[in-house]
Amino acid sequence: MLVTTLALLECAAAEADFNAYSGAAIDDSKIDGNIGSEWDDAGKATGVAINPQGTADVWTKNDGANLYIAIRFTADSNDPWVAVQLGGNSCMETGADLALFGNNLPQFSKDGYVDGYMGGTGAAKPDATQNGKGALNVTSQNVVTVELKKPLNSGDIAGNDINWAQNQTQTLVVIWNSDNFGSSGGTTSHYRNGLELGTAIVRTLLINSNSMAQSGNPILANIDTNTLIILVAILVVAVVAVILVVFLVRKRGSKTKP
């Protein structure tokens, strides 16, 4: 029974791929493409597969007004672009919000951040009003770091910005490119290498109203308050059941003694 209970705990912890815990606000000046102590209260996922290849470390948190995302991975050139799609049920879904970093094409911003949206498969467009703050940094070893600060609800009715609230679970897609469509120097394409244009891993992100547990308990890392109450109740019932079984076994044993 205890094994079953622990399995339920682990299942609940895995409800969302990324947990954007409630944390301290990050000043715009700290959105500079360098991971510092400002991310210490963020949820962190390591070894996350990103499209079209490679793995990344991903940090996520919110301050009630803004969503913060940081991503770090190693590319195969010093001139890649990185796209973070916010919302939508498929990659490049029409109308999905988009944060684009380091794209060389004239309508975007090389080594910079553009608040955009998807106008259809393969058709990224910049919003008329730019909301949020973002930064890209690429080291001489091709280690890529992006940082994003985006309002949960910008009120930008002219664009396609996210409109999220705490305790909601939304979706997120990460794609990068190094050899075309606004990047250069590498051989990685979000179109080639077996990845069809418009397909990628769609992950879930919880905008958590709770702060990160300081105990570092991996089983409880992604559980909000309501879920925790339910799981504690399940655990209490399981423990009481075990105690009752032990008591009955001992009582039966005492009756069989001469």
Q: Tell me: the pLDDT tens digits for 205-250?
A: 999 999 998 644 333 344 444 555 665 667 767 776 767 766 665 6
User: Mean of the per-residue pLDDT values for the chain?
Assistant: 82
Q: Which two tokens stand for residue 4?
A: 């079953």
Cis peptide bond prior to 52, omega within 30° of 0: yes
Higher pLDDT among residues 237 and 31, named by residue = 31
Looking up residue 124, the CATH number of its domain turns out to be 2.60.40.1190
> Rounded to an integer, what distance in angstroms lies between the CA atom of residue 150 and that of residue 16?
20
Residue-wise pLDDT tens digits, 139-187: 999 999 999 999 999 888 777 888 899 999 999 999 999 998 899 999 9
- Res 106: pLDDT: 87
- Res 127: pLDDT: 87
Same domain, 138 and 171: yes
Q: What is the pTM (predicted TM-score) of this model?
A: 0.76
57 part of a folded domain: yes
79 part of a folded domain: yes
User: Please, which pLDDT band fits residue 4 given cuts at 50, 70 and 90?
Assistant: very low
